[in-house]
């Protein structure tokens, strides 16, 4: 019964956000997409999450309906992808990212579209006018990214990024990373496959 109620709620939220989707589809305006995403970020509670997920299921490159997107969080680019079972906390800004299955992203996290979005090498020319390069950032399955982290590079599978860390270099899988720039603190190992006693 609960599963049916959730499905009906999701379908209702799809219906509510479909005019936004059709307007975006008609114009293909990236600015319109960003504005709609920011507007939906302000819808509170679980209903707000359902509205956001419904909208992104229609507009992102890939998005599963099985996930949660918190208040104040939005995607800045329609090229983003979301796997199954994701959790995205509050006040996150996510660029061109490919987020894997069961990834957990805490609050106030920024996932940028790489670390070269803005050029700065031309002296005398405003930085805002200098060309940059946008890259899709991959977040592996089952990752956990802590509060206030900034991610500018790929994160391997089941990696934990400590709160406040700045990821500027790709990480391997099954690691705990921390710091600015983030460095490996330890490897995550399966206690069933080693001789450590707990």
Distance CA 119, CA 125 (A): 10
CB 166 within 8 A of CB 149: yes
Q: Is the pLDDT of residue 195 over 50?
A: no
Q: Provide the residue ranges of all domains of the chain, joining segments of one domain with +.
A: 2-187
Q: Please check the confidence at residue 114 and state whether its pLDDT lies above 70.
A: yes
> Predicted confidence band at 148 (pLDDT cuts at 50, 70, 90)?
very high
**Least confident range of 13-17, 91-95, 125-129, 189-193:** 189-193
Q: What is the mean pLDDT of residues 98-125?
A: 93
Mean pLDDT taken over the chain: 92
Mean pLDDT for the stretch of residues 130-138: 92
Taking residues 68-81, report their average pLDDT. Answer: 96
Q: Cis check for the bond before 181: say yes or no (omega within 30 of 0).
A: yes
> Among the CATH numbers 3.60.21.10, 2.160.10.10, 1.10.3720.10, 3.40.50.1100, which is that of 2-187?
2.160.10.10
- Across residues 115-131, what is the average pLDDT? 87
Better pLDDT: 198 or 4 = 4
Weakest mean pLDDT among 104-113, 119-128, 138-147: 119-128
Pairing of strands 86-88, 67-69: parallel
């Amino acid at each position: 019964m609960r599963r049916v109620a959730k499905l009906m709620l999701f379908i209702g939220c799809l219906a509510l956000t479909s005019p936004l989707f059709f307007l975006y589809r008609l114009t293909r305006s990236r600015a319109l997409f960003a504005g709609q995403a920011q507007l939906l970020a302000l819808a509170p509670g679980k209903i707000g999450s359902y509205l956001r997920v419904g909208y992104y299921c229609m507009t992102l490159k890939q998005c599963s309906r099985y996930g949660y997107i918190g208040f104040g969080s939005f995607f800045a680019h329609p090229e983003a992808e979301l796997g199954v079972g994701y959790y995205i906390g509050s006040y996150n800004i996510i660029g061109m990212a490919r987020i894997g299955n069961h990834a957990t992203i805490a609050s106030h996290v920024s996932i940028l579209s790489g670390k070269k979005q803005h050029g700065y090498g031309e002296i005398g020319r405003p930085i805002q006018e200098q060309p940059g390069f946008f890259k899709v950032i991959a977040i592996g399955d089952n990752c956990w990214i802590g509060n206030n982290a900034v991610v500018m590079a790929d994160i391997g599978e089941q990696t934990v990024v400590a709160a406040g860390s700045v990821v500027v270099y790709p990480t391997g899988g099954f690691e705990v990373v921390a710091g600015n720039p983030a460095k490996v603190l330890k490897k995550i190992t399966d206690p069933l496959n080693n001789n450590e006693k707990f």
